[in-house]
Amino acid sequence: MRIRFFALLAVFGLAGSAMLVTAARPAGGTITGKVTFTGTPPKMKPIDMSKEPYCQKLHNPPIKTQDVETGPGDTLEDAVVFISAGDQGSSSASTPVRYDQKGCQYIPHVAVMMVDQPLQIYNDDPNAHNIHPLPKVNSEWNKSQPPGAPPIDTKWDKPEFISVKCNIHPWMHGYFVVLKTSHYGVTGPDGTFTIKDVPPGKYTVTAWQEHMGTQTQEVTVAGGAATANFVFKAMPY
Amino acid sequence: MALAKKITRSLMLAAFGAALATPGVALAQDTGASVNGLTGNAEAGKRDYRRWCVGCHGKEGNGEGENAPYIDPRPRDFTEALFRWRSTPTGTLPTDQDLYDTITRGVVDTLMPTWRPLTPQTRVDLIAYIKTFSPKWQTQRAGAPITIPPEPPQTIDSVLHGRQLFDQMQCWKCHGPEGRGDGPSAITLTDDKGEPIRPYNFHDGTRFRCGETNSDLYKIFMTGLDGTPMPSFADSLKPQDAWDLVHFLRTLQPNVQSESRNVWLEYVKTHQGQIKPIGAESAGQ
């Protein structure tokens, strides 16, 4: 009985000191890649903003829905690629992430942040918006933001992919992607991403696209650059 | 000798377990229920739930009871721990009193009846039981109830300021310029499950689903109705502003007797043609 007690104590002690040792390891390589698709994705439709004349006037021709943003070479924009297992050397983030409501659109469409990282939401339009995130794991809230109101300061305390909407303007859709890791990248219009400062090791890397779901890959980083490309199968609906 | 060893062993295990569990006491949690000096018993609540509530709210408390497919609006899904009518800020759990009030009052214009025929103890037991449907009660405390300052007199200045706020905050986008629930965004509103939902119609309505007093109305927009398109305006309205808005909203209800509506009608009589319609300037044009 006593032996078991001390054995348990030793295990906890070792685990604790192992955590301290890991945090001190130096940063290293990068993971880069491209996210593309095969098949036919759904057609993005132009958004009718006639219910908000100010925003309608800003977008001529109208902007399209952003569920699947494709580019030349069948690339996917706004896909989030991150280390989902085996992560080490992640540091918490204190720089606020900015989310704008501008021209009745969320900019960026997908905002990535770490758990507990400050998030600041701005209303840049002369009309009111309400910001309504729809988490299942974190707590849902819904706040009005009239024109000229100060930014909303908030944060999320659990990792989750949270869809965001505005009830006043039903076409407005966006995402808060809350991650445990600081090792993530978001694809740009050319479908490429870069994950920096990755210590050498074996990782599981996940790519997420809001309409097409997730894909994972095992990636080994040996101190230099590693590549991980993701190809999603697109369906027209 | 063997028995003594066994007892010592279990005592040590218990002590070790207690030592590990002690940090858990410091964790925020809000299991259990207590209202008006009565303490809820979840076991008793379970028996009462299975008798009175399961038909709509379901055995797993997920709003999928036998009656649920035929009901609009749908019964509350307790597994989400997301509640509409609270005295606490948006994104926080309601207090036991909030839940007790909803059960007691029932929800007007829905199939949730008043449960006054159940004893207060039974109602508190039910609250203790429904908290077992979501793990959120284990990790979060109920929010701190908002402070509602004393209501100022219902003067025309208060009503006019409230009218200005209704315009500026763009409440009319959903509720409509006359509060008839027919604003430009009304037809596209959806609740969290994607089902259509309409904004409150002040012109036809008298009671609200969470009560009928001015304080109840104050709480609606200062805490937001979580799970619906109705947001919280607590970040945008000072408490004094909120009371002015309450007074203006009462003028939109011809079926409710209020001092606010009386002073407003007097004002309209003597200021014909001078009152700017709502929604013209703040439409962002």
Is the Cβ pair B224, A54 closer than 8 Å?
no
Of A142, A146, A150, the CB nearest to B224: A142
Q: What is the pLDDT of residue B170?
A: 95
Q: What is the pLDDT of residue B139?
A: 92
Whether the per-residue pLDDT at A13 is higher than 90: the answer is no
CATH of the domain at A29: 2.60.40.420
Q: What's the complex ipTM?
A: 0.85
User: From the CA of B119, how many Å to the nearest CA of chain A?
Assistant: 32
Indicate the pLDDT class of residue A20, thresholds 50, 70 and 90. very low
pLDDT tens digits, A112-125: 999 999 999 999 99
Is cis: bond before B73, omega within 30 of 0? yes
Task: List Cβ neighbours of B235 (8 Å cut-off, separation of 6 or more).
Answer: A143, A144, A145, A149, A150, A152
Of B92, B170, B231, the CB nearest to A127: B170
pLDDT tens digits, B132-143: 999 999 999 999
Please report, rounded to a whole number, the percentage of residues in chain A having pLDDT higher than 70: 89
CA–CA separation, A178 and A140 (whole Å): 14
Q: What is the pLDDT of residue B283?
A: 47
More confident residue, A89 or B172: B172
pLDDT tens digits, B12-56: 655 555 555 444 444 567 778 999 999 999 999 999 999 999 999
pTM summary value: 0.86
Is the Cβ pair A167, B229 closer than 8 Å?
yes
Q: Are the C-beta atoms of B67 and B54 separated by less than 8 Å?
A: no
- Determine the 3-state secondary structure of A211 from DSSP: coil
Q: Which residues of A touch B184 (CB under 8 A)?
A: 51
Identify the residue among A141, A155, A176 best suited for mutation to test binding to B, counting B beta carbons within 10 A and taking the highest: A141
User: From the CA of A89, how many Å to the nearest CA of chain B?
Assistant: 27
Is the Cβ pair B282, A136 closer than 8 Å?
no
CA–CA separation, A203 and A228 (whole Å): 11
Owning domain of residue A208? 2-234
Instruction: Tell the burial category of B128 from Cβ atoms under 10 Å away from its Cβ (0-12, 13-18, 19+).
Output: buried
User: What is the rounded average pLDDT of the residues B74-84?
Assistant: 96
Residue of B186, B225, B71, B238 lying closest to A169 (CA atoms): B186
pLDDT tens digits, B204-261: 999 999 999 999 999 999 999 999 999 999 999 999 999 999 999 999 999 999 999 9
- Domains (ranges, CATH) in chain B? 34-139 (1.10.760.10), 156-279 (1.10.760)
- Determine the 3-state secondary structure of A66 from DSSP: coil
Task: List Cβ neighbours of B168 (8 Å cut-off, separation of 6 or more).
Answer: A146, B282
Number of domains in chain A: 1
The encoded tokens of residue B192 equal 């969290």
Q: pLDDT averaged over chain A?
A: 91
Q: What is the pLDDT of residue A11?
A: 55
Is the Cβ pair B185, A169 closer than 8 Å?
yes
Q: pLDDT averaged over chain B?
A: 91
User: What is the rounded average pLDDT of the residues A212-233?
Assistant: 94
Of A51, A136, A149, the CB nearest to B184: A51
CA–CA separation, B24 and B30 (whole Å): 13
Of A1, A125, A145, the CB nearest to B9: A1
Q: What is the pLDDT of residue B4?
A: 66
Whether the per-residue pLDDT at A12 is higher than 70: the answer is no
Q: What is the pLDDT of residue A1?
A: 64
